[in-house]
Amino acid sequence: MMARYTAKIDRINIFIRCIVIQATWNFKALIGMGFCFCVIPLARRLYDTPKERSDFLRRHLDFFNSHPYFATYCLGAVTKLEEEALIKKWPDMRPISVFKERMAGPLGVLGDQLFWSRIKPLTLALAMCIGLTVGWIALPIFLFVYNVPHFYIRLLGWRKSYRLGFDIVSVLSTRRFQGSLQKISIIGLGIAGLLISISAWWSLEQKPSVFVAFMVSILLTWLLVSLKLAVKYIILVAIVIGLIVGVLFVL
């Protein structure tokens, strides 16, 4: 007889699999194959025959994209919806596929703004401050500080989305996260200022040439930012100029 509900062990299995959802990233489906890998326990629990499981997994091999940490906001909801589809005998599974497609954009935007644009730079700046003043202890501190919100978001997304199903879309908006984004930005700016001060002190303690290279890099970075150059080019140019100035003064 066909099972209708996932067991707790299945949901734990899906959540753990989500940690490596990007392992099979490809240009055709992006993290679609990773999503399919995550829901294999769901297929095993809900369907009895190989044919049913194959059809289920084929549906979830389609294109899917999301920030990897926010993918649980979709995975939990899809788990709930797949259960409901069997219980209520939906004639068509297309609504679940449409739901996945429409979740991709918001999950990508929120994840990029929260982690790539704020939390990662903030924790890296903090680690650099600690590294310049204390030393190697900066690495474990960075891993701890960064991964606390990382796993919190994964777990929160999974629990909320499994509970709400389709209604998870009501809690996914930039406006709802705006307060947190602003607070993280303020903290990040403070740590960035602290990092500049510590870097200036550290470079001055080393050699005058190191300090000059640091100051030239700072001024050049400010100029390139004002010209609205891409961040990757700003970082590259600042590093190259800093190295050149430092070598010239050392020689």
Q: Burial of 40 by CB count in 10 Å (0-12 exposed, 13-18 middle, 19+ buried)?
A: middle
Question: Tens digit of pLDDT per residue, the chain (251 long)?
Answer: 444 678 899 999 999 999 999 999 999 889 999 999 999 999 999 998 999 999 999 999 989 999 999 999 999 999 999 999 988 888 889 999 999 999 988 899 999 999 998 899 899 889 988 988 888 899 999 999 999 999 999 999 999 999 999 999 888 876 778 888 888 888 888 888 788 788 777 777 777 767 777 777 777 777 877 887 776 677 777 777 767 766 776 55
At 246 the three-state DSSP class reads helix
Instruction: State how far the Cα of 93 lies from the Cα of 135, in Å rounded to an integer.
Output: 55
The predicted-structure confidence for 118-147, as pLDDT tens digits, reads as follows 899 899 889 988 988 888 899 999 999 999
- Altogether, the residues listed in the chain come to a count of 251
- Output the pLDDT for position 250: 57
**What is the C-alpha separation between 129 and 58, in angstroms, rounded?**
48
Segment 7-45, tens digit of pLDDT: 899 999 999 999 999 999 999 889 999 999 999 999 999
CA–CA distance, 194 with 188 (Å, rounded to integer): 10
Can you tell me whether residue 89 is helix, strand or coil? Answer: coil
Determine the pLDDT at residue 17: 96
Q: Which two tokens stand for residue 231?
A: 């961040």
Name the residue ranges covered by the structural domains of the chain: 1-110+147-172, 174-251
DSSP 23-59: TT-BTTTBTHHHHHHHTHHHHHHH--SHHHHHHHHHH
pLDDT, residue 1, reads: 41
